[in-house]
Amino acid sequence: MSVLWKLGILFGLVLVVFGGGALATYELFIKKASRTPTKGSQAVVTPTPDPGIALLEQAKQLIAKGEIEDGKRLLTSIFQSFPKSGKADEARKMLGDMNIQDFFSPQLSADKKEYVVARGDSIAKISAKTKAAPELIFKANGLDGLMIQPGQKFIIPSGQFSLDIFLGAQSVELLNHGQFFRWYKSLDFRLPPNIKPGQAKVIGKEAWAGGARVSFGEKKFLGSSRWVVLSQSGITLYSETAPNTPNIQKPRFGIQLPPEEMEELFALLPKETPVTISK
């Protein structure tokens, strides 16, 4: 092999080795640096649109057109599929309002039956006959007193309710037959610091007025502060209808709700209602 040929091979190897290194250096340092935005030309990040905004508007349009069930399904999809949407709580509130309105409406359904008041009936007797709480009968039929007349037609609603308490969101959800029914945002949320997710149940219902417990049928029951006591750590769901002169001292640990919402829960939740405490 001639000397010139050997020099040519050696020169080619030098180009391959050092040329490849130069290319790698360019890609890793020089070219990469050129892609890095300078102080005056930082990259602009376009925020991701909130899908809940458009979906909520669509749901409202469906409901306005009378397509109620489709609208309800769309509302549910907002907070289930996009829980971090800025419209999730609004969707929960809107759907819950519709559910409770349907539940207490006079229109008969699978969860509602009609009862005709008989001679000698009272709310307490009707409660015993139908197994519905007296306060539920009272609220469902828009009564403002205990006087009832034979021949009156009452709606007796029923449900299979359970309660979810969310520690992180500091909120409460009511389920009916395992499905979302109503959402409640707390006014005050004070639970034991060591509380853990788990199961509980309703063990008591109390009404308070002027520092004393009152029962359904007593004059002071209307407008009283309502408590629903749970089996875990003495947790109580409660309201205060007289904040300037409280009916009763706040429980040590509890979740305070607006009086009208607590009155609603008080009517809906019987003893032994299952409660789930979640993160």
Report pLDDT digits (tens) over 199-228.
Answer: 999 999 999 999 999 999 999 999 999 999
What b-and-e string marks burial along 10-26, b requiring 16 or more CB atoms within 10 Å of the CB?
eeeeeeeeeeeeeeeee
Per-residue pLDDT at 45: 67
pLDDT for res 9: 42
pLDDT in tens, 222-271: 999 999 999 988 899 999 999 999 999 999 999 999 999 999 999 999 99
- Specify whether the CB–CB gap between 226 and 245 falls below 8 A: no
Give the per-residue pLDDT at 168.
94
Locate 271 and state its tokens. Answer: 């003893």
DSSP letters, 25-40, are HIIIIIHHHHHSPPTT
Cβ neighbours of residue 165 under 8 Å, at least 6 residues apart?
A: 171, 172, 255, 275, 276, 277, 278
Give the model's confidence band at 71: pLDDT under 50 very low, under 70 low, under 90 confident, else very high. very high
Q: Give the confidence band of 42 by pLDDT, cuts at 50, 70, 90.
A: low
* Domains annotated on the chain, with CATH: 52-103 (no CATH), 112-157 (3.10.350.10), 161-278 (2.40.440.10)
Beta bridge partners of 163: 174, 275
Average pLDDT, integer, range 34-43: 54
